[in-house]
Amino acid sequence: DGGITQSPKYLFRKEGQNVTLSCEQNLNHDAMYWYRQDPGQGLRLIYYSQIVNDFQKGDIAEGYSVSREKKESFPLTVTSAQKNPTAFYLCASRWTTNTGELFFGEGSRLTVL
Amino acid sequence: AQSVTQLDSHVSVSEGTPVLLRCNYSSSYSPSLFWYVQHPNKGLQLLLKYTSAATLVKGINGFEAEFKKSETSFHLTKPSAHMSDAAEYFCVVSDDEKAAGNKLTFGGGTRVLVKP
């Protein structure tokens, strides 16, 4: 089945540690996105990539890093520079057309202990 | 620049009664508009989308939305709410990809409570 797979679903981190969230898609989509969602709030864009080996900062990129070495993969690293990393992280992908909808993974919940 | 405003942060309905979720947008170009639903601790699922074809769009699970350019609105409705409709709903606008850098803008979300 085609879709987006995020892992792990739950992750606990100690302060000062970097963690990497995985996102893989087999939909052959060009564009991939990372969003952060906090309780009672909407989605905020962290990074997005429209093509392999290229990505752009979103609205809240500070403290995060990404790579896009393969079309199907877009991992997100939450670094120790991110002051408040506890959140629900969503990965999505779509065709790079105005009409293409986003397809979402099931999310990864990161908790800093 | 594009923006989306969901006019109600919370909506409470009784099972079997109609549901109305309001969304207004602003866009410099011809937008595409989407409604998504999110159940707790899950990803977002597409309910329906408008892409400059028919202004009345039918989606999954009995939902539909009407694009009204003159009112810059894209309200979501369902004739009869079901308990399984309790979730959060997001209205999303996608502007001309060159101008917006292929980004989409999300509304703040509307949480729907369905009472038995």
The pLDDT confidence band at residue B100, using thresholds 50, 70 and 90, is very low
The answer to whether B39 touches B84, Cβ cutoff 8 Å, is: no
**What's the half-sphere exposure (Cβ side, CA atoms, 13 Å) at A54?**
5
pLDDT of residue A1: 65
Compare CB distances from B42 to A56, A98, A106 and report the shortest one's residue.
Answer: A106
Q: What is the pLDDT of residues B44-66, one digit of tens each?
A: 999 999 987 788 999 999 999 99
Taking 90 as the threshold, does the pLDDT of residue B27 lie above it?
no
Instruction: For chain B, report the end-to-end CA distance as a whole number of angstroms.
Output: 41
Compare CB distances from B96 to A98, A104, A106 and report the shortest one's residue.
Answer: A98
> What residues of B are in contact with residue A56 (Cβ under 8 Å)?
101
In terms of CA atoms, which chain A residue is nearest residue B6? A42
What is the rounded average pLDDT for all residues in chain B? 91
Q: For each successive 10 residues of chain A (113 residues), what is the average pLDDT?
A: 90 92 95 92 91 94 97 96 93 83 95 91
Strand ranges inside chain B, DSSP E? 3-6, 10-14, 19-21, 23-26, 32-38, 44-50, 56-58, 64-68, 73-78, 87-94, 104-106, 110-115
Taking 80 as the threshold, does the pLDDT of residue B95 lie above it?
no
In terms of CA atoms, which chain B residue is nearest residue A47? B103
Asked if A31 and B102 come within 8 Å (Cβ–Cβ), the reply is yes
Other C-beta atoms closer than 10 Å to the C-beta of B23 total 25
Asked if A97 and B106 come within 8 Å (Cβ–Cβ), the reply is no
